[in-house]
Structures are given as structure tokens and as C-alpha cells.
């Protein structure tokens, strides 16, 4: 298969996988694609090279592949998670890293999937990375994922308004999110 044909087939399979993940999580539209677009916009403004942006886009599309692999019904239920379920859910980035590896994604994609729930203050998971220990791609993915999740309907709650989501990002800057990434995102998105 020629290089451009192989790339087209890979992209098609990647988008199909992303769609399956979105459907599993209960999204009615292309949630992973939206995150990839937001993340790429931030990365572009930061001058991140195309190759690294491509890795980030792939990771954004499959960031919750671990949730689908775990196949837990509570993900789509309209209720709060129990403490046991919350701990179980925190395993999904590591399982996602393993699933990305099984599917032949680059190590860069695997690690971004693993670290997309790390928090700026070190209170995230699975590795409790803090500040700039978290690679820039994972910090970008954290902001893009949070904003998209907040502004999309979820099985457990309705979407917040854009203003409410921006307020959340501001309130959790330097706690959950890299404050510089939040600032850049808000400048680009009207606040």
C-alpha cells in the first residue's frame, strides 16, 4: 500500500475508533474530534511542531480508550459514582496506555493517554505528576478535554454554558490546569 493510502486508512480507522469511544461514553457527536481540534489550536498558538501536534491529535481522539476497554456500565448511568467506582475509573488512563500500545500507536500517544488526568498541583492520576513534570501535550489535553466535557451533555449531567465552563477553567487554573494553558485558551475563546 502506498504511503498516502496507508495514512488515509490509518486516519479512517482512528476516526472509527474515536467514534466508538464517544458512543460508549454516551456522547451524541464527535467528542474526541472536538478535543483534538481544541488541543491542536492551543498547540499551534504555542508554536509546537507539527509532528508533536499530530501525536497530540491522535491522543485526543482516543484519550478515553481505557474506559471503553474497561466496559463499565456505571460510566453511562445517571448517578454519582461510588468511591469504589471512582477508584476503578482512575485506572482507565493506564489501561488506555496499554490499549494504545496494543493498537500500535506511538509511545508519545500512549503517554499522553496515560497522563491526560494529571493535575498541575500533583493531585491527578495515575502518576501524580506536578507542574512542568507533566509534558506540555498532556497539559494541553487536560484543558481541552475538561472544556469539551463541561460543554457537552453527559449521561450524568447536562452541558454547562461556555461562560460556566470558562469560569471553571479559571477557578481551577494552577490547581487542575496549567495556568498558562488556561490563559491562552481563554484568550482564544472570548474571555
- The per-residue pLDDT for range 21-36, each reduced to its tens digit, is 999 988 888 999 999 9
Instruction: Reply yes or no on whether the pLDDT at 175 is more than 90.
Output: yes
Which of 68-72, 135-139, 144-148, 187-191 has the lowest average pLDDT? Answer: 187-191
Q: Give the residue extent of every domain in the chain.
A: 3-188
Fold of 3-188: Hypothetical protein af1432 (1.10.3210)
Distance CA 191, CA 183 (A): 9
| pLDDT reported for residue 78 | 80
- The per-residue pLDDT for range 125-148, each reduced to its tens digit, is 999 999 999 999 999 999 999 999
- The per-residue pLDDT for range 80-106, each reduced to its tens digit, is 899 999 999 999 999 999 999 999 999
The model's confidence at residue 1, banded by pLDDT at 50, 70 and 90, is very low
The model's confidence at residue 158, banded by pLDDT at 50, 70 and 90, is confident
Amino acid at each position: 500500500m502506498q504511503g498516502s493510502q496507508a495514512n488515509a486508512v490509518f486516519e479512517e480507522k482512528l476516526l472509527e475508533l474515536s467514534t466508538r469511544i464517544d458512543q460508549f461514553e454516551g456522547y451524541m457527536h464527535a467528542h474526541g474530534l472536538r478535543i483534538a481540534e481544541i488541543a491542536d489550536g492551543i498547540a499551534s498558538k504555542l508554536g509546537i511542531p507539527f509532528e508533536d501536534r499530530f501525536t497530540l491529535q491522535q491522543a485526543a481522539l482516543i484519550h478515553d480508550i481505557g474506559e471503553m476497554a474497561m466496559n463499565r456500565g456505571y460510566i453511562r448511568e445517571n448517578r454519582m459514582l461510588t468511591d469504589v467506582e471512582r477508584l476503578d475509573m482512575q485506572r482507565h488512563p493506564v489501561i488506555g496506555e496499554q490499549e494504545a500500545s496494543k493498537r500500535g500507536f506511538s509511545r508519545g500517544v500512549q503517554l499522553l493517554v496515560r497522563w491526560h488526568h494529571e493535575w498541575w498541583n500533583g493531585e491527578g492520576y495515575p502518576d501524580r505528576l506536578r507542574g512542568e513534570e507533566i509534558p506540555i501535550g498532556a497539559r494541553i489535553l487536560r484543558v481541552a478535554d475538561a472544556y469539551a466535557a463541561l460543554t457537552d451533555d453527559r449521561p450524568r449531567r447536562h452541558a454547562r454554558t461556555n461562560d460556566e465552563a470558562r469560569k471553571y477553567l479559571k477557578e481551577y487554573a494552577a490547581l487542575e490546569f496549567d495556568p498558562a494553558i488556561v490563559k491562552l485558551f481563554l484568550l482564544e475563546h472570548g474571555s
